[in-house]
Chain A
Amino acid sequence: MASDSQQDSLAEKRWLHALAKGDPAALGGLYEIYGERIFRYAFRMLGNRSDAEDATAETFLRVLRRSNELRADAAFRTWLFRIARNLCIDRMRQHRLLELPNDAHDNGTEERTALKITVQQALSDLPADYREPLILCDLEDISAKEAADILKISVPALKSRLYRGRRALRDKLGGALEKVL
């Protein structure tokens, strides 16, 4: 039986083919596959739900408007994340976002809940060069190669930023981390 990711890949191909033909159901299908991931990515980049919803909607609007740019052999997910990233960066430039995530909730112990909030805060405090590889590779589970493609940097540069970002995050977490060790 096909796994979820294989089924998503087949559905993605079907919807992209339909999008090229102008089928109005295509964007809805792609939104159902990728909407949640793009929303989560945007939330982590922007730090609040409202901006993340706006950025997600705008991302899919651009997919529709720029669908003629998408080649049949291109990696749709990489292209999609690149659009979302550019929109998030534009939004961050427009207004410096200081609001911290307010709907962090966890079913774990008090220490782990505190750590989760602290992880999100620490992540928000990191420079974008470090934050982006952490979001893509450690949180979204995207390969180093694909993350490098999304960020338009080489794989060694991506890995260097990822490792430095992890160390910077560790330093920011400090005491919160010691409580769960």
Chain B
Amino acid sequence: MNRELYTKLVDLYAGYELPAELEDEMIVAAGNDPALASDMLTLRAAVDALQNDQGPSFTEESFQRILMKLYARGVDLHTKAPSPTHLQYQLPIQG
């Protein structure tokens, strides 16, 4: 296979979309081509960094704040999650 084709396949290699045989073939080709090797290595590292990103945590506070926003807009929402403590007891100020 020629170099031009390998260059075009780098995106698929980086995204783990190539069949194992073709991936092995590319790795062998990259052994003799530093530019191709660098492109493959850095692009896959970027994809790995993205895919390993755990993302923002969905905290209990966020879960409850979103529920409160929906209650405030008049939505009668029922979830299995326990109500926040401050809503479980009727405080004197609430009458």
Stretch in B19-27, B28-36, B60-68, B84-92 touching the partner: B60-68
With both beta carbons as reference points, the residue of chain A lying nearest to B63 in the complex is identified as A35
Q: How far is the CA of A163 from the CA of B69 in the complex (A)?
A: 38
Q: How far is the CA of A106 from the CA of B14 in the complex (A)?
A: 24
B75 part of interface (Cβ distance < 8 Å): yes
A134 part of interface (Cβ distance < 8 Å): yes
A27 part of interface (Cβ distance < 8 Å): yes
Interface residue total, chain A, C-beta cutoff 8 A: 46
Please indicate which of the listed interface residues B53, B55, B56, B75 has the most CB atoms of chain A within 10 Å of its own CB: B56
Q: How far is the CA of A39 from the CA of B55 in the complex (A)?
A: 10
Number of A-B contacts (CB under 8 A): 111
Interface residue total, chain B, C-beta cutoff 8 A: 33
A32 / chain B contacts, CB cutoff of 8 Å: 79-81
Interface residues of A in 49-79 (CB under 8 A from B): 49, 52-54, 56-57, 60-61, 64
Q: How far is the CA of A102 from the CA of B63 in the complex (A)?
A: 18
Kindly list 11 other residue pairs between chains A and B, CB separation below 8 angstroms, not including A39-B66, A61-B70, A170-B46: A31-B70, A31-B79, A44-B55, A49-B62, A119-B49, A123-B50, A138-B51, A166-B11, A167-B43, A173-B49, A180-B45
Which residue numbers of B lie inside 8 Å of A, CB to CB? 11, 14-15, 41-43, 45-47, 49-51, 53-58, 62-63, 65-67, 69-70, 73, 75-81
Which residue numbers of A lie inside 8 Å of B, CB to CB? 24-25, 27-29, 31-32, 35-36, 39-40, 43-44, 49, 52-54, 56-57, 60-61, 64, 101, 103-106, 115-116, 119-120, 123, 134, 138-139, 162-163, 166-167, 169-170, 173, 177-178, 180-181
